[in-house]
Chain A
Amino acid sequence: ETGVTQSPTHLIKTRGQQVTLRCSSQSGHNTVSWYQQALGQGPQFIFQYYREEENGRGNFPPRFSGLQFPNYSSELNVNALELDDSALYLCASSQVTTRTYKNTGELFFGEGSRLTVL
């Protein structure tokens, strides 16, 4: 089984630029979530996608946007980058079923994309 893969692994941008991060979900998973992990902190929920629609959103401004594609892969886009956007961006996938008793909430994470904004 293929795990969650993310690209690029590292990138450097300057303030005001735009960035796109990509994620391929684990085989068999239909839901993708994105998290931001600032240095020395726990991951913070950005948003989740299910069936190509945003399913929930954390406390992040609209310049953080995303997409999910029919093959369940996903993109995270950040516009007008700010210095505080420097962080490790983690993608996580899961399989959500209509049999809700089977949904334990477990997420499977990729290794992340480390973004540095100068």
Chain B
Amino acid sequence: GNSVTQMEGPVTLSEEAFLTINCTYTATGYPSLFWYVQYPGEGLQLLLKATKADDKGSNKGFEATYRKETTSFHLEKGSVQVSDSAVYFCALSAWLKTGGYNKLIFGAGTRLAVHP
């Protein structure tokens, strides 16, 4: 079946440190992959996406590359800020039926805390 596994948190970093949050997936077919971010008390916001193998999604300094050979979609940022403190969810798109109808399957989330 389809599943997403993320590294457990919390991840605690100092400001300007390098961030990596690991994500691996199991899927039939070729899903789209996503990173969503959830700030305290809020819903989910799309951070970035990749729709096919070797695509690189990027946004706000975050990047992730769709690696089919390792079934991975690791999130990276070169220099984190205090404002990046949030919970990050890796997700894949599993098709409900042909025609574009889909559901997202999420990992358990990784909490990131960035200190000044």
Q: Mark A residues whose CB is within 8 Å of B.
A: 4, 6, 31, 33, 35, 40-45, 48, 50, 55-56, 58, 90, 92, 94, 96-98, 100, 102-112
Contacts and interface: CB of A to CB of B under 8 A. Distances in A.
Nearest to B106: A42
A35 B93 CA distance: 14
Contact of B34 (A90, A96, A106): A106
Interface residues of B, number: 30
A28 B71 CA distance: 33
B96 A55 contact: yes
B94 to A, nearest CB: 8
Given A42-B106, A42-B107, A48-B101, A109 B96 contact: no
B116 interface: no
A105 B109 contact: no
